[in-house]
């Protein structure tokens, strides 16, 4: 009987290993990225969990996918007075532009076309909330040009190295993506 339990546990760990690797992204949902004046503009979705509780923006960081933060902002004070909530494309935070209630921890560096970037947004319990919680939103993106020479946003993907998808191209799903719907 002890061998059966050990073998069963070993099989479960082997089966669950790929799922834990897939689940390492540590994000609750995708960040929303749009273009404003040729620059990426970041927001987060008003998903069901966000609508249930009081929440407020707390941090935004943009980094190269190969490493290195290139822009970082956060709230100026925990009372969040005057803070604009980037929870829609109308109130998104444009790259390099400070919004009311935020301070810049790292000044924005110019974005290089056709280079993969990562954005991370954190929202936290709003003042007066009873429980401590936060939600994390992240996405990988590139700015490229379409056939007309206009700037467009595309997704970034990883296959041995980070790369930018072409306009209209979608990420290829591997076996685990197909199995788990990612």
> Over its length of 182 residues, how does the chain's per-residue pLDDT go in tens digits?
555 544 444 444 344 434 333 333 588 999 999 999 889 999 999 888 877 877 888 999 999 998 899 999 998 877 777 788 888 889 999 999 998 889 999 999 999 999 999 999 999 876 655 556 788 999 999 999 988 999 999 999 998 899 999 887 887 765 555 455 54
Q: Which structural domain, as residue segments, surrounds residue 166? A: 27-180
User: For residue 56, what pLDDT is reported?
Assistant: 85
In a domain, 8, yes or no: no
User: For residue 25, what pLDDT is reported?
Assistant: 55
**Measured between alpha carbons, how far is 9 from 37 in angstroms, rounded to an integer?**
55
User: For residue 177, what pLDDT is reported?
Assistant: 53
User: What total number of domains does the chain contain?
Assistant: 1
State the distance between the two ends of the chain, measured CA to CA, in whole angstroms: 38
User: For residue 163, what pLDDT is reported?
Assistant: 93
In a domain, 115, yes or no: yes
Which residues contact residue 156 at a Cβ distance below 8 angstroms, ignoring those fewer than 6 apart? 65, 116, 117, 118, 140, 141, 142, 162, 163, 164, 165
**Measured between alpha carbons, how far is 57 from 42 in angstroms, rounded to an integer?**
12
In a domain, 175, yes or no: yes
In a domain, 14, yes or no: no
**Measured between alpha carbons, how far is 126 from 74 in angstroms, rounded to an integer?**
14
User: For residue 129, what pLDDT is reported?
Assistant: 57
User: For residue 137, what pLDDT is reported?
Assistant: 94
Return the DSSP state at 11: H
User: For residue 18, what pLDDT is reported?
Assistant: 40
User: For residue 127, what pLDDT is reported?
Assistant: 65
In a domain, 21, yes or no: no
Question: Mapped to the 3 state alphabet, what secondary structure does 12-78 carry?
Answer: HHHHHHHHHHHHHHCCCEECEEEEECCEEEEECCCCHHHHHCCEEEEEEEEEECCCCEEEEEEECCC
User: For residue 63, what pLDDT is reported?
Assistant: 96
Size (the chain), residues:
182
In a domain, 13, yes or no: no
In a domain, 18, yes or no: no
In a domain, 7, yes or no: no
């Amino acid at each position: 009987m002890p061998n059966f339990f050990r073998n069963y546990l070993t099989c479960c760990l082997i089966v669950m290993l790929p799922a834990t690797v897939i689940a390492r992204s540590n994000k609750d949902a995708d960040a929303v990225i749009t273009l404003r004046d040729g620059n990426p503009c970041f927001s987060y979705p008003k998903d069901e969990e966000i609508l249930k509780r009081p929440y407020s923006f707390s941090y935004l960081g943009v980094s190269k996918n190969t490493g290195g933060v290139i822009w970082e902002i956060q709230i100026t004070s925990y009372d969040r007075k005057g803070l604009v909530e980037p929870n829609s494309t109308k109130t998104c935070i444009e790259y390099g532009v400070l919004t009311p209630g935020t301070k810049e921890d790292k000044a924005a560096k110019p974005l290089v076309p056709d280079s993969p970037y990562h954005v991370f947004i954190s929202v936290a319990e709003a003042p007066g909330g009873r429980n401590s919680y936060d939600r994390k939103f992240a996405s990988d993106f590139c700015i490229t040009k379409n056939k007309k020479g206009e700037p467009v946003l595309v997704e970034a993907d990883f296959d041995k190295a980070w790369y930018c998808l072409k306009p209209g191209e979608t990420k290829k799903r591997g076996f685990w993506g197909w199995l788990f719907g990612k």
